[in-house]
Amino acid sequence: MLEPEQRVPLEITRNIISFMKTVYPTPLSGEANLAILESKQIFLYTPKSTRFPLRELTMADKNEDGSVDEITACPDCKGTHLKRDYDHAEIVCADCGLVLEDNIVDTGPEWRAFDMQQENALARAGPPMSTTLPDKGLSTEISPTNRDYYGRSISNKNQSMLFRMRKWQRRARASKSAERNMAVAMREMQAVATNLKLPRRIQETAAFIYRRAIQEQSLSGRAIEMVACAALYAACRQEGVPRTLTEISRHSRYSRKEISRTYQVMVKALKMHSMPPLPEDYLPRICSKLELSPKVEGAARDLLRAAQDVPLTNSVPISLAAAAVYIASIVNNERRKQKDVARAADLTEVTIRSRYKEMAQFLNIDIHI
C-alpha cells in the first residue's frame, strides 16, 4: 500500500474514471485501467502497477457467520449491469469499472473444450433435472440408436434384445398409477406446447404447477389432460407469454369453458397471483402474422397507451390489440382487411369492427374505409 501523501482526492479520481470510460469503453479489456478491491479500500490499477486509493469501501461488511450478501448493484454508480470475470476472479461493474468482489469461485467445469466433440468427450455428468419428465430425468435411459460406444452397428440378435430392454425400461419408469398419470399429463403438455410453439421454460413451469396441483389434491375427479391444459395456460400467464384459452382448447379435446373452470379452481387452490395479459403483449404476434412494419407496431402501441382510460365495451386484451393494429395499418398506409386482422387475432370481424369504431371515436381519429 502507498503512503497517505500519495493518495489522490476523490474529485480527481472521478475525472480519471470518466476519462478511462471514454478511452476504454469495455471495463474488462486486458490493458484497461480497473478499480480493484484491496484491504477494504478501492484502488485504481494502471498498467505500471501503481495503485492509488480512491475512497473507503461503502459496501456492507461481512455477516456474523462470515458470509457476504449477494451484490446486486454497484455502490458507487448504483448501476445493476455487473459482470463476472472468472479469469481474474472478480465481479466488476460494467458502467464505472468498479471491482465489487474478488476471489470469486468459478462453478464451471475445470476442463476446457473447443468444440462440441471435446465437450461430449470430457463431460462426466448427465442431462439436468427436468420437471417435464415423470421421474425428473433421474433414471437410466437406454439409447434409441442401434450402435455401440465406438459407433459400430449392433447385430440383429442384439438389436432385438435391446428393443425388449427399452420396452421394459419404459414400463419400469412408470410402474405406479400416479407415475403413469404424470406421464400422460406430460405428453399432453408437450403436444399442446409444440403446436403453440411455446418455449421450453413454459413447459417446465407448467409441469411444476401441475405437480403442485396434484399434491394439493384439489383437482381430483377432473381429467388429466384438462388439468394439464389448465396448468399450461397458467404457465403462459406467469411467464408473460400471451396465449388465449381458445388457442389451447383448439389443440386439445376439451372446450374453452372446461379449461377455464379448471384454471379457476387451480388458481384458488394454489393461491396463484398472475397479472392479466396486456394488449401490448399481443402486438408482435399479430403484426408478424400480418407482415406489418415496426412502424405500424409502434403506432398501435401508442394508440393502446392513449386508450388506457377509454371506457370500451369489451375489455378483452387481444380484441383491443387487434383494433389498434387495424387503425395503425390504415393510418400508416399499410391497410389490411378486417378479415385478415380477425384471422390473425383469432377473432370475428364483428369484434374487430366494434372495437376499432369505439377506439377511433374516443380518440378522435378519422378512418376512411
| 237-277: pLDDT as tens digits | 888 888 888 889 999 989 999 999 999 999 888 888 877 78
Q: Is the pLDDT of residue 64 over 60?
A: no
Is residue 258 a part of any domain in this protein? yes
pLDDT band at 2 (very low <50, low <70, confident <90, very high): very low
Domain boundary among 83, 102, 121: 102
Number of domains in the chain: 3
Listing from the earlier edge strand, what are the strands of the sheet with 82-85? Answer: 82-85, 90-93, 99-102
Is residue 263 a part of any domain in this protein? yes
| CATH number for the domain that contains residue 202 | 1.10.472.10
CB burial string 214-226: b at 16+ within 10 A, e below: beeeebeebbbbb
Neighbours of 313 (CB within 10 A): 8
Rounded Cα distance between 331 and 363, Å, is 13
Q: Which residue has the higher pLDDT, 289 or 132?
A: 289
Is residue 339 a part of any domain in this protein? yes
- Whether the Cβ atoms of residue 80 and residue 72 lie closer than 8 Å to each other: yes
Is residue 114 a part of any domain in this protein? no
Is residue 161 a part of any domain in this protein? no
Is residue 120 a part of any domain in this protein? no
Residues 257 and 183 in one domain: yes
pLDDT band at 55 (very low <50, low <70, confident <90, very high): very low
Residues 255 and 294 in one domain: no
Domain boundary among 85, 102, 119: 102
279 closest CA partner among 247, 234, 312, 250: 312
For residues 336-358, average pLDDT: 88
Sorted by sequence, the CB contacts under 8 Å of residue 159 that are 6+ apart come out as 146
Is residue 321 a part of any domain in this protein? yes
Residues 202 and 219 in one domain: yes
Q: What is the CA radius of gyration of the chain?
A: 29
Distance of CA 222 to the CA centre of its chain: 30
Residues 265 and 294 in one domain: no
Q: Which residue has the higher pLDDT, 260 or 44?
A: 260
Domain that holds residue 37: 4-102
298 closest CA partner among 315, 288, 283: 283
Residues 13 and 81 in one domain: yes
Q: Is the pLDDT of residue 91 over 60?
A: yes
Is residue 220 a part of any domain in this protein? yes
pLDDT band at 127 (very low <50, low <70, confident <90, very high): low
Residues 343 and 261 in one domain: no
Domain boundary among 213, 247, 270: 270
For residues 205-213, average pLDDT: 91
Average pLDDT, the chain: 76
Residues 45 and 76 in one domain: yes
Q: Is the pLDDT of residue 41 over 60?
A: no
Residues 264 and 290 in one domain: no
